[in-house]
Amino acid sequence: MIKLEDLRPHAAVRGILPDALITVVNTQWYGSEALELTYKDPAGRVANVLLYRHDEARLEVVEQGRPWSFDGDGSLFRLVSEAHRIRLAHLFDPVLAVHTSIVEPLPHQITAVYEVMLPRQPLRFLLADDPGAGKTIMAGLLMKELIARGDLQRCLVVCPGSLAEQWQEELYRRFHLPFEILTNDKLEAARTGNWFLETNLVIARLDKLSRNEDVQDKLMAPDCRWDLIVCDEAHKMSATFFGGETKYTKRYRLGQLLSTLTRHFLLMTATPHNGKEEDFQLFMALLDG
């Protein structure tokens, strides 16, 4: 409850008009118990009303917020608006990753990424194409599109050791994705004790993961989940069936582990089939997670 004395020029008051605020223009006292209030309604019309002490119970002075002004930081507003525009860009550009990367994709690459892989949610996919067909470019386009859609923050690329630097260079030069290669020094220098939790974009050598159980333990940490795991030369993650017995290699066991740690799982190889149907079915089982 307010006092009549609180009704001052420019104050916003509720209770004079039903469901509307008025603005005080002027006040005129008649003794100490009555006040003539001149006010302006929301439409800008000016009117008068006589108020008494018993009216105080229904009146309320509303604190006015700071009026809009143009004294903000223009460069900061531009930065925020540009970030919001980029965040929504994929809604208006169906091939956003192509236009924001240094690539000239071929038709089969566009088809694979935009017509086959992107619509699959979640993606559990074998990308089998000839050597030199540009599987790295397809993987980079997929990553860039998933990032634009807010569906990818953490990504792990597993590849043969000889290809790690090539992957890192290609992903940064063509897509500006700053992947880091897993090394012993980085594992030992991790502040949290688990470098995988500190790094979102990782390239790891296949045999370093498959032969090192300590590294696999870090991968299996409760909070160590990935949005996308890409396995290059995935045919190396093989298992064989012979004489009624299945032989699982360490690389295959690693593939089984990786499949459980991610939402999107992409296997890439130029030679998915070695001519043995049982081995191929074991290989495809990696996608089941």
| pLDDT digits 0-9 by tens, 19-77 | 888 899 999 999 889 989 999 988 888 989 999 999 888 898 888 665 566 677 889 98
Fold: same for 4-62 and 95-288:
no
Domain residue spans of the chain: 4-62, 95-288
Pick the closest to residue 57 from 13, 17, 5, 1 (CA basis).
Answer: 1
CATH superfamily entry for domain 95-288:
Tandem AAA-ATPase domain (3.40.50.10810)
pLDDT tens, 78-110? 999 988 887 787 777 888 889 889 999 999 999
pLDDT at 57: 87
Q: What's the mean pLDDT in 117-144?
A: 92
Fold entry, domain 4-62: SH3 type barrels. (2.30.30)
pLDDT at 68: 61
Distance CA 285, CA 259 (A): 10
pLDDT tens, 183-227? 999 999 999 999 999 999 999 999 999 999 999 999 999 999 999
Pick the closest to residue 26 from 54, 55, 53, 46 (CA basis).
Answer: 46
pLDDT higher than threshold 90 for residue 273: no
Q: Is the pTM of this model over 0.75?
A: no
